[in-house]
Amino acid sequence: MIRLADRTTSTTTPWVGEQHLAPAQPQHQNQNQNQDQAPERHTLSTEEDLLAVRHAVRAATVRAGFGLIDQTRIVTAASELARNAYIHGGGGHLTIEYLGCKGGSGLRLTISDAGPGIPDVEAALADGFTTGAGLGHGLGGARRLMHDFSVHSEVGKGTTVTATRWTAQ
């Protein structure tokens, strides 16, 4: 679902709240032990920060009880979104939140920058869209790797991307 607001471009997929998840058997023991863990905030201002973010997200996926394939999906999405904030937004921040739900757990990644913003979010989410030398799979690819995904961008003010993945979906 695409929602366009006045002078603000955003795209939102419906959030899957805790009460909307179908009951499922936990894939790992003690999955919910991290739901009370404080959010982690990471700065994205250097190339080294991008590597540190990948390691932090990887560690968070392990703590949250994700299997290897989902760990890879989340780290890949986080890496792409962090790189976008660094390159296109001039740097920014990543917040990792641990979520709990009946039968599983999740991670919510929020990446924000104060860059130029994305004038046309819908176009930016389309495969093949690029503002650089890349293949144009970044933002749309990150969206496909996560269960819940939203982009809020204001031209001249920056962009915030929120992406969530659940262990039980």
Contact status, residue 117 vs residue 157, Cβ threshold 8 Å: yes
Q: What are the pLDDT digits (tens) for 35-82?
A: 568 899 999 999 999 999 999 999 999 999 999 999 999 999 999 999
Short-list 58, 64, 100, CA closest to 82: 58
Q: Higher model confidence: residue 66 or residue 126?
A: 66
Q: What are the pLDDT digits (tens) for 16-39?
A: 333 233 333 333 333 445 556 889
Q: Give 15's Cβ-side CA count (13 Å radius).
A: 9
Q: What are the pLDDT digits (tens) for 101-122?
A: 877 899 999 999 999 998 888 8
